[in-house]
Chain A
Amino acid sequence: MAFKWTEGDHVTSNIVDATEQNASFNNLKGEMNGGLDRENLPNSSVSNDELHQSAFVKYAVAANMRAQATSVLDLHWGDTAAGPNAFQQEYIAIDFNTYTGGWRTNPAYSIESLFQEGMLHLEFNCWYWLSNHLANGTIQGWCQFQIVVNGTPVVSGDKQYQNVGQSHLVVDIPISTGQHKVELRWRIKPWHGRDMTDPIFYYDGGQLLALNRYR
């Protein structure tokens, strides 16, 4: 609403009873008590001094995201002099004993918040390690990341094939007022013949940013 005040002069006997006067006055009072809007307020009347610091945006960060359900696992390397399995090294990673394919949501990190109608800017960034190859070239692994909002994918990265790398996902979506949940999920190439206990994949240093710009 916007109440346009029109000045008028009372004349003798103009106020006939209390109810009528209350209604007239309370109409104005109600406008002052929470009904003012751009129809009442002059153009360019609100400067930085009047702006509340939370007037325009809401942001949330899920930081330090890393792969879940990991184990300490060994990789082995053969040596021409010392034979097979001459060297080994421990990694924290997942193996094919605990991953059988498909998208895996990271349950430990998500953003669930009351967002306002407007746009929701989402960013995800992390580094990963993928044991992507064997020396004989028989195996090629890949990994992929995706952001989901309320269970629906909104952006997917491409499959990545390098041994280490960076995933960077960005998307802007319209969002309604209400409670929404933003999550990360990932997948890798399903079992491709590697030893079931080989460390295959790990990611760390992940950050999920949700930036809600109001309408």
Chain B
Amino acid sequence: MSTVNSTNEVPGDVTNAVSVNTKFANVATASGAINEENVRSEGVDRRTLESYTGGRREPLVFVDYDDRDNSAATVHPNQTGEGFVTISNVLLDLTASPLTVTAGDLVRIHFTAFLTGIDDGQYATWGAAGSDSGGPNRSFNPADAIGIVFFPMWRIANPGSFVPLTNEADLNTTLVSPADIVINDSTDKTDSIAFCSMEGYLDSGNCVSAREVHGTWNYIHTGANVTIYEVNLNFRGPMVYEYNGASRVLHSPIWNAGRYDITCMDIPQSPTNRFGITVGNAQLSIMVMRGDS
């Protein structure tokens, strides 16, 4: 409206029809819409809000998910960390109604992934040999920072390719080992990844990890609108967290060479140089919220 202004009558004045009419005209001719200056703090509640089919859901703008059960479990052979694999049967396909994210929106991507296991039955993060067969030189070998990296990507151009999430590391890069994917605090973050240990137990020649990890990415968008067409879930590995003398990195080593050679950690013990990785259940969701105050 917002506020109604009027002049008080002054005691002693003669009240007449003109002054009374003026005061009421101030209200009658007010042209502004009622806004927050008219409604008291916390003066509006659910009863006052217009109802919607299915109920109101502020501040949710959008929510969607997809998942896959263990029937989609797949063995991915010959993995070294040099490339990445897109996990099948778990995809947020918004192409029919693309999702527009505006400045100030909170984007929340959650995922879970189940690492069933790897085909290196003797795998251990401190080396396959252990103390018994490793001898004194290897008995104090420490666990290394080896694991499988799960990460989501999105497609924000149509037509276009899947790209890393905003300011996340380029985990979709194809490498030739030994090589690094750099991590930094600005444009190559790892906030969206989930790092899954391959540690497990020996069963039928495989290392059964049976481990689920939960990754999230919370992002308050800035700048021009972004339109999301698809979100997928990927993994690459094994990768090794290291420092390369200049940066923190996720490293793709040459397996069975250097400290992973048969005379040291012996990773992988069998097969040689590469891993078969089995991923089971997975779930991927996106939620966009609006209305930060």
The reply to whether B263 and A37 contact each other, CB–CB distance below 8 Å, is no
Q: What number of A-B contacts does a CB cutoff of 8 Å give? A: 278
List the one stretch of A42-50, A95-103, A184-192 in contact with chain B: A42-50
B199 to chain A, nearest CB (A): 5
A-B contacts, 25 listed (Cβ < 8 Å): A17-B11, A32-B27, A32-B38, A38-B44, A44-B51, A59-B289, A63-B218, A77-B141, A78-B136, A78-B140, A79-B261, A86-B264, A90-B243, A91-B241, A92-B243, A127-B193, A127-B194, A131-B145, A132-B143, A133-B126, A133-B142, A163-B199, A164-B145, A166-B215, A204-B190
Select which of A18, A36, A66 is within 8 A of B38 by beta carbon.
Answer: A36
B242 to chain A, nearest CB (A): 6
- Complex alpha-carbon distance, A166 and B110, angstroms: 13
Residue A29, interface by CB 8 Å? yes
> Which residues A153-181 have CB closer than 8 A to chain B?
162-166, 168
The reply to whether B50 and A44 contact each other, CB–CB distance below 8 Å, is yes
B118 to chain A, nearest CB (A): 14
B129 cross-chain contacts in A, Cβ below 8 A: 135
A18 cross-chain contacts in B, Cβ below 8 A: 8-13, 15
Q: Hey, what's the 0/1 contact readout for B176-199 against A, CB within 8 Å counting as 1? A: 000000010100011111111101
The reply to whether A206 and B191 contact each other, CB–CB distance below 8 Å, is yes
Question: In chain A, what residue has the closest Cβ to B134?
Answer: A135
Select which of A80, A130, A131, A163 is within 8 A of B137 by beta carbon.
Answer: A80
Known A-B contacts A36-B38, A45-B50; A17 and B259 likewise in contact (beta carbons under 8 Å): no
The reply to whether A135 and B138 contact each other, CB–CB distance below 8 Å, is yes
A86 cross-chain contacts in B, Cβ below 8 A: 137, 259, 264
Question: In chain B, what residue has the closest Cβ to A200?
Answer: B142
Residues of A at under 8 Å CB distance from B?
Answer: 1, 15, 17-19, 21-22, 25-26, 28-29, 32-38, 41-48, 51-61, 63-64, 66, 72, 75-84, 86-87, 89-92, 123, 125, 127-137, 162-166, 168, 194, 198, 202, 204-207, 209, 211, 215
B214 cross-chain contacts in A, Cβ below 8 A: 125, 166, 168
- Complex alpha-carbon distance, A184 and B290, angstroms: 25
Residue B59, interface by CB 8 Å? yes
Question: In chain B, what residue has the closest Cβ to A72?
Answer: B243
The reply to whether B197 and A165 contact each other, CB–CB distance below 8 Å, is yes
B67 to chain A, nearest CB (A): 17
A11 to chain B, nearest CB (A): 13
> Which of A72, A79, A123 counts the most chain B CB atoms within 10 A?
A79
The reply to whether B263 and A82 contact each other, CB–CB distance below 8 Å, is yes
Q: Is the interface of B mostly helix, strand, loop or mixed?
A: loop
The reply to whether A83 and B126 contact each other, CB–CB distance below 8 Å, is no
B76 to chain A, nearest CB (A): 19
- Complex alpha-carbon distance, A52 and B27, angstroms: 25
Question: In chain A, what residue has the closest Cβ to B253?
Answer: A89
- Complex alpha-carbon distance, A89 and B137, angstroms: 17
A211 cross-chain contacts in B, Cβ below 8 A: 106, 289
A46 cross-chain contacts in B, Cβ below 8 A: 44, 48-50
Q: Which 5 A-B pairs have the closest CB atoms?
A: A18-B9, A37-B43, A54-B293, A162-B197, A205-B190
Known A-B contacts A18-B10, A38-B45, A164-B145; A202 and B218 likewise in contact (beta carbons under 8 Å): no
Residue B72, interface by CB 8 Å? no
B142 cross-chain contacts in A, Cβ below 8 A: 75-77, 131, 133-135, 194, 198
B42 to chain A, nearest CB (A): 8
Known A-B contacts A26-B8, A131-B142; A38 and B48 likewise in contact (beta carbons under 8 Å): yes
The reply to whether B292 and A80 contact each other, CB–CB distance below 8 Å, is no
The reply to whether A123 and B216 contact each other, CB–CB distance below 8 Å, is yes
Residue B96, interface by CB 8 Å? no
Residue B213, interface by CB 8 Å? yes
- Complex alpha-carbon distance, A19 and B15, angstroms: 10
- Complex alpha-carbon distance, A94 and B249, angstroms: 17
